[in-house]
Chains A and B, each alone.
Chain A
Amino acid sequence: MDVTLAIAKNLLRIFSRDRQSIFFTLFFPITFMAIFGLASSGEEEPIGIGIVDRAANDFSARFIETLGANPLFAVNVDSEDSLRQQVVDGDLALVLVLPERFDGGTAPADLTLLVDAAQARQAAMLRPLVEQALLDVERELRGIEPLFPLTVVDVQARSQRYIDFLVPGLLALTLMQISVAGSGYNIVEYRRKGILKRLFVTPIRPSQFITGIVIARLVITVIQVAFLLAAAVFLLKVPVEGNLLELFALILIGSSIFLSLGFWMGSMAKTQQAIMLLGNLVTLPQFFLAGVFFPVDSMPGLLQPIASVLPLTFLVDAIREVIVNGVSIFAQLPTLAGLAVWLAITLTLAIRGFRWKEVAR
C-alpha cells in the first residue's frame, strides 16, 4: 500500500507542478461549457411567419391577432412579393395567404401556404401549428367549445431548458475524455521514455503501479469535475436536484471505467499518434451515440441497441437522472449494473494487458 501511495503522491506532485496541464485540464472544459451555455441559453427564437392579408376585414384581423399572440410565432403582415422574398432569404419560415373570401362565411375559404421547398421539413412541422391556430379562431368565431379540450401539465413541474439536459452529458463526456487521455496518453509516454522500465527494475508490482495512477487520476478528476459543476451551477444556473455524494460516486465509477480503458489502449499503442487514433476510435462514436447532445430515443432505430449499451450512455443517463431529476443512484439499479459490467470488463483488460516493456516490436 505504501508503494501505491508513493506512486499516487508523486504523480499528484507532478500534476501540481505542471502549470500547462493544470491550465488545460481546468480551463478547457469550463470554456467548453461556457460556449455551449451561451450558444444554447436564452429563449427560443420565434418562428417568422408572413401573412398576406387579401381579405383585410375584421375576421382576418382577429385571425392575425390570435396567431400573433402565440409566443412561438413572429407575425409579419406585408405584400406577397415582399414576403416571398423573405422566405427565399430564409427570414421567414412560411407565408400564409388569406384569400379575399376569408370572412367566416359558410363556404370554406382556401388558404395558401407559401414555403421554401428546401425547408419543407420545417414547414411540415409548422403546418399543424398553423392549422391549430386556424381551428382556434374558427371555434371562437362560431362560438363553439372544443369537444376534447387538452390541458398540458408538465410532469417535471419545472421548466427544463436544453442547457439543463446538456450539462450532465457534457460532464460525463469531459470525464471520459480526461480519463482516457489521463491514463492512455501518459502510459504510452512513460513507456516510450523508458520510465516504466526504470520502475520495473524495482520490486514494484503492476497492480501497485496501476492502482497508484488510478488514485492520482481520480483525485485530479474529482477536482476537475468539481470545477465544471461549479461553473454549471453558478454561471449557467443549472440546478443540481440530486445528492452530490451520489453524483461524485458516479463520477468515480465512470472515471475508473475510462481510466482502465485508457490503460488497456496504452498497452497496445506504441506511439502517441497511435494512442490518439485509438482514443478517438473509442471516444468519438460515444461522443455522438451516448445521448450527450440529444436523447438516445431520438436516434435512428438501428443505432439505438448499440447506443444504449455504451459505457458513456450508462454514465450520461445516471448523471442526468441525478442532476436533472434528483433520482437516487439506488433507484437506477439497471444503469448501475451496466456501469459495473463495464468496470469489470475494462479493469480486467487493463491489468491483463499491462506491459512494462516495449510493445512487441
Chain B
Amino acid sequence: MPIVDARNLVKRYPKPGKKREEFLAVDGVSLAIAQGEVFGILGPNGAGKTTTLEMIEGLSDIDSGEVFVDGIDVQKQPSRVKEIIGVQLQANEYFDHLTLSDLLRLFSQLFHRNNDPIVLLKRVELEEKAGAKPAQLSGGQKQRFSIASALINEPKILFLDEPTTGLDPQAKRKLWKLVEELNDAGMTIVLTTHNMEEAEYLCDRIAIMDHGKIIAAGTPQDLILQYAPEPPAAKLHGNLEDVFLHLTGHKLRE
C-alpha cells in the first residue's frame, strides 16, 4: 500500500483579475508514493506543484478527490495526518525576537513533545546557531533550520517545497546530503523542484506537472530514455532537463 495515495485531486482558484471565472490549479492529479521513496514533483512556475503538496498535507481544502496519508484520510482527520508528517514550506519566516532554540521548543510543544533543540540543530549542523535569530541565517542555513523544525515529530514523510531554490552550490550539496541521510534512515521524502540535476540526483521517481496535470511519471532513467533519447551533441543521450523542456515547451513562465 502506498504511504501517500492521492486520487484525482482537483483545486479551483478564481482567475487573477477576473473573480467570476475559475481555473483549475490542480486538475485531476493522482499520485502513489511508496514507503521509503524519494519522490520528486517537477514543473514550471504555476504548474500546481505547491497546491498539490498543500492538499496532501491538509493545508489546502480539496475541491474534489481524496488523499490517504499512511492510510489516514486527510480530509477527515487533518490533525492526525499533521502528527505524522513533516513540512518545510517555501516561505521561511518566523516570529521576530525568538532564537532558533526558542522556536524549536515552541514547535515541539505544539506537537505535545519535549525535544531538545540542540539535538535537532545538530542533525542539520546548526548547533552553533542555537542562540541566533532566523533573520541572521544565510539562505542555506534557513532551509536547514526549516528542515530541523519539520523533524520535530519524527515524521514518517517529509515534504520539501523547493528546498534548494536560491542556494549556492555548496549549500545545495549540503542539503542533498541531509536528504539522503534522512532517506537512508527510512524516511519517505516528497519534494518539489525546478532543478533537474537535483531531481536526477535525489529522486527515485519523478512526476512532471504542467497546467495542473501530471504529464509524465517514472524513474529519471525511464523518462530520459523515453523523452530525450537523442542527444543534441556528443553525449550518449540527453539529460532530465531535455526531458523537461521537451514536455513543457520552451516558453517562459511568469
Write the residues of chain A forming the contact surface with B, with a CB cutoff of 8 angstroms: 2-3, 6-7, 10-11, 13-14, 17-18, 190, 193-195, 197-205, 356-357, 360-361
Contacts and interface: CB of A to CB of B under 8 A. Distances in A.
Contact of B109 (A6, A18, A205, A356): A6
A305 to B, nearest CB: 37
A201 B59 contact: yes
Contacts of B109: 2-3, 6
A361 B14 CA distance: 8
B102 A357 contact: no
A197 B91 contact: yes
B89 A204 contact: no
Contact of A195 (B57, B87, B94, B110): B94
Contacts of B87: 201
Contacts of A6: 106, 109-110
Q: Chain B interface: which size bin? A: 20 to 34
Nearest to A15: B97
Given A194-B89, A361-B16, A14 B60 contact: no
B97 A13 contact: yes
B89 A13 contact: no
B93 A195 contact: yes
A10 B93 contact: no
A10 B110 contact: no
Contacts of B79: 203, 205
A202 B93 contact: no
Contact of B96 (A7, A18, A360): A18
Contact of B83 (A2, A10, A11, A203): A203
A222 B81 CA distance: 39
B13 A361 contact: yes
26 contacts: A3-B110, A7-B106, A10-B98, A10-B106, A11-B95, A13-B97, A13-B98, A13-B102, A14-B97, A14-B98, A18-B97, A193-B93, A194-B89, A194-B91, A195-B93, A195-B94, A197-B89, A198-B91, A198-B93, A199-B110, A200-B59, A202-B110, A203-B83, A203-B110, A203-B111, A356-B59
Contacts of B16: 361
Contacts of B97: 13-14, 17-18
A201 B93 contact: no
B107 interface: yes
A201 B91 CA distance: 13
B82 interface: yes
Contact of A10 (B91, B95, B111): B95
Contacts of A361: 13-14, 16
A178 to B, nearest CB: 19
Interface string B98-121: 100010001101111000000000
A200 to B, nearest CB: 6
Contacts of A13: 97-98, 102
A161 to B, nearest CB: 42
Nearest to B88: A201
B82 A198 contact: no
A197 B59 contact: yes
Contacts of A2: 109, 112
Contacts of A205: 79
B60 A202 contact: no
Give the one of B14, B79, B93 with max A CB within 10 A.
B93
Interface in B157-210: none
Given A195-B93, A361-B16, A202 B111 contact: yes
B98 A203 contact: no
Nearest to A356: B59
Contacts of A197: 59, 89, 91
Nearest to B79: A203
B91 A14 contact: no
Contacts of B91: 193-194, 197-198
Given A10-B95, A195-B93, A203 B82 contact: yes
B94 A201 contact: no
A200 B110 CA distance: 10
A190 B96 CA distance: 10
B89 A201 contact: yes
Contact of B95 (A14, A200, A204, A356): A14
Contacts of A357: 59-60
A357 B79 CA distance: 16
Nearest to B85: A201
Contact of B57 (A17, A193, A201, A356): A201
A201 B82 contact: yes
